[in-house]
Every structure is written in C-alpha cells, then in structure tokens.
Chain A
Amino acid sequence: MENRAALEDAVKLLDDWTGATDRVEGGPGMSGFEISAPRPQGAPPGSPFHKWVSPDGATWTEFYRTETGHLLRFPNLADFEVFAASGAVICRPAPDVEQATLDHLYRNQVLPLVLSRTEKLVFHASAVETPAGAIAFVAQSGRGKSTLAASFATRGYGFLTDDGLVLERQGEDYRVMPSHPSIRLWEDSRSALLRPGAEPAPPLHFTSKARFMAGPGLTFRDAALPLRKAYFLGGGGASGISIRPLGAAETLIEWTRHSFLLDIGDRQLIASHFDRIAALANDLPCYRLDYPRRYEDLPRLLEAITAHAAAPEAAE
C-alpha cells in the first residue's frame, strides 16, 4: 500500500468487520481479541519485513515476525500481537488512543490479515445482492467499489460488504460473508447518493471519509450468499460502459493482487493461498468493468450490471 487511496482502503476495512467478530472468532484457528492497558510503544523486535507507507511518506503499518507469530505496529496508535498457534490477537494501545480507533484498526486491518492464515479468502472488494445473486466489485480504494455498493443499496439491493470481502468455500459455491452494515464514502459520493440525514457512524480521527450506517435508505443484506460473478473495476478511462470477460490467468493474477496476506514472506502461506485463488479463478466468472465516473450515469450503469449479472455465461 503506497498511496492515500490504499491507506483509506486499509482504514475502511475496519468498519466492515464490526459485528462479524462472533462468526470470525468462532472459526478455525481464531480464538479471540483483547485489548491490554495503554502504554508507550517500545522498541520493535528487530527490523520490519514489510511496511505500508502513506502518501506523505509516513509509515502506516510495520510488519514484524516474532517468536510467537507477528507484530503489526501502527505508529503512535497501537501494536497488535498476532499469535500463530491460536490466531489470538492482543492489542497494546498507545496512550490516549480512542476505543473506536482500536476497534477499527483491528476489524479493518488486523483481522483480514489474520484471516488470510485460514481457509478463508479476503479481498479488497465490495459485494451486493442482485436478483441473480451476489456479485462483487474488486478494486483498490478510489476506484468506486463503495460508490457502487451504496448505489445498489440506495435502490433496495442489499450490500453485504463495503470492503474486506470474505469468501468461504461451501461445496461448489463461494459464499460472501456479510460484514459491518456501514459504507464509507467521500463527501461527493455521499451528497450524490444518500438522502440528507443518513445516519453517520462515529468518525475516526485518522481518515477523512465518513461512514454511514445501513437503514431504510441504505439496504444491508445480513446473510451469507453464494457469489455469482465478480467485476474488477477499471480506472475510469472507458468512454461508455464496458464489461469484458477476464482470461483465466488474468483472473488469478487480479485476485492475487487484491488479496490480504499477513506475511508476504511466508512461502507456505502464499503457496496455499495461491492454490485457493487458482480454484476460485477456475470456478467463478470474472470480468473487467469500466465506465465513466459520472454520478448521473449511475442508474444506467446499475441497470447494465444487473442485466449482465443475470445473463448466462454463454450469452455474454
């Protein structure tokens, strides 16, 4: 993660996991989360093997390996110790950091990374329910996946997640696990999509995006649904709505690029993750979706996506 958009992505993930903790913590290899007493961040255990850096050059997250697993350091905010054997996480907050910030860091950044050690697949993607089933919009932050999810949700199609898409394989299907019932939007998207008075959630001091809770004007689908198709969002350079099938290899590479992984140096983890993604790429129809980013075009775009999602593969 090397830019502001990616940073927002990471911050946003935290929201998506609020409320999903019971399901997640009950899963294989997951045994809980606790917050210890605040204390100044001490010397790290050696050099980080990986960093996430914000656009201004500041370090957002440092990744360390420890004798018991991993340490994720968010400078001046908190350390999260992840225990490899149990999957348990202990948060050691820096002084004067609010509980909401700690929860967000855990749910949006730490938990998706921890989940990458399990059989679950976690991606930077939103997901909504359409008449044809659940579909996902996969992209780094800033490409419009939250805007698309909110657009569907304001028209009565429930969103399952705003980001941090968790897929769980069940037989032939990959089920989308519902996450936190809120969507994070920039001000321009909010004013274009949401009714005045949409319920805001508590703000975080380290992000300028606002978070809105599901409600009568913003439908949430609180049930796991099979994923039917996935759309990888282009950069907005298309002159009109463009949807084209992705080749198999391209699909595998795209899913891999948009994955969460706790330890990018753990060959065994990466190899098994790659295997699971290869199976996903073989099984799920995936497309490149691009369109001009104009709010006035959204109704037509949603119609096109909904029709495409409902079309059988052979007819596309």
Chain B
Amino acid sequence: MTIGDKFTPPQNVIAREVGDEAVLLDLTSGMYFGLDPVGAQMWRLIAGGCTLGEVCDKMIEEYDVAREDIERDLLALVRDLTEKKLLLRS
C-alpha cells in the first residue's frame, strides 16, 4: 500500500453518518464497523475519490496534527478496512 493509492467501498458496503461518526455495514456478511469522527472524515475523503496522500493533505488542513501521525492512522485504518473487505483498492 502506498500513499498514492486510491480505494473505493465495494457495492455491498453501505455507510451511514450518525452525528459526526459513521457506521459501515457489509450487506453480504452483516458485519458492522463503527468510525469515530476522524475515521468518518477519512472514509468520506477516501470514498470521494481522494488518494491516501490527498486524504492526508486535507486532514492536516482540518486537524492540528503532524503528517506522520495522520499518515500512520490512515494507513492503519485502510489496512483494517481492506482486510475486512470494506474497502477495495481502485
């Protein structure tokens, strides 16, 4: 996985925002996955077509954190979601 990669949710995964959080539901497996506000924002940007690098850029604009921290958290999230088949590499 590189920072230039793009990912998309598969058709069988739906996301719903609740407050500033989000829940992903895999319609095939029935599995749920909750996202906190930061994770929900990352999901929105990824699902909107941003590369992981672009996601980092936008997150840094919004949150006062170091790029390496955001990048580490983003890669961990994407790794987790792809393992759970909630995201696919484009």
Q: Which residues of A contact B (CB under 8 A)?
A: 247-253, 256-257, 264, 267, 270-271, 274-275, 278, 281-282
Contacts and interface: CB of A to CB of B under 8 A. Distances in A.
A278 B18 contact: yes
B40 to A, nearest CB: 8
Given A252-B16, A271-B14, A247 B21 contact: yes
Contacts of B30: 264, 270
Contacts of B25: 256, 270, 274
Contact of B32 (A256, A264, A275): A256
A257 B25 CA distance: 12
Contacts of B21: 247-249
Contacts of B32: 252-253, 256-257
B76 interface: no
Nearest to B28: A267
A259 to B, nearest CB: 11
Contacts of A274: 14, 16, 25
Contact of B18 (A264, A267, A271, A281): A281
Contacts, number: 50
Nearest to A256: B32
A278 B34 contact: no
Nearest to B19: A248
Interface string B14-38: 1011111111010100101011100
A271 B27 CA distance: 8
A253 B34 contact: yes
A271 B13 CA distance: 10
Contacts of A282: 18-19
Given A256-B32, A267-B12, A251 B27 contact: no
B18 A270 contact: no
A278 B34 CA distance: 12
13 contacts: A249-B19, A249-B23, A250-B34, A251-B18, A253-B32, A257-B32, A267-B12, A270-B27, A274-B14, A274-B25, A278-B17, A282-B18, A282-B19
B12 A249 contact: no
A275 B16 contact: yes
B32 to A, nearest CB: 5
Nearest to B16: A278
A271 B16 CA distance: 10
Contacts of B35: 249
Nearest to A277: B16
A168 B25 CA distance: 23
A248 B14 contact: no
Nearest to B32: A253
Q: Which of A249, A264, A267, A275 has its CB near the most chain B CB atoms (within 10 A)?
A: A249
Contacts of B14: 271, 274
A248 B19 CA distance: 6
Q: Give 8 nearest A-B pairs by CB, closest first.
A: A248-B19, A249-B34, A248-B18, A249-B21, A278-B16, A267-B27, A248-B21, A252-B23
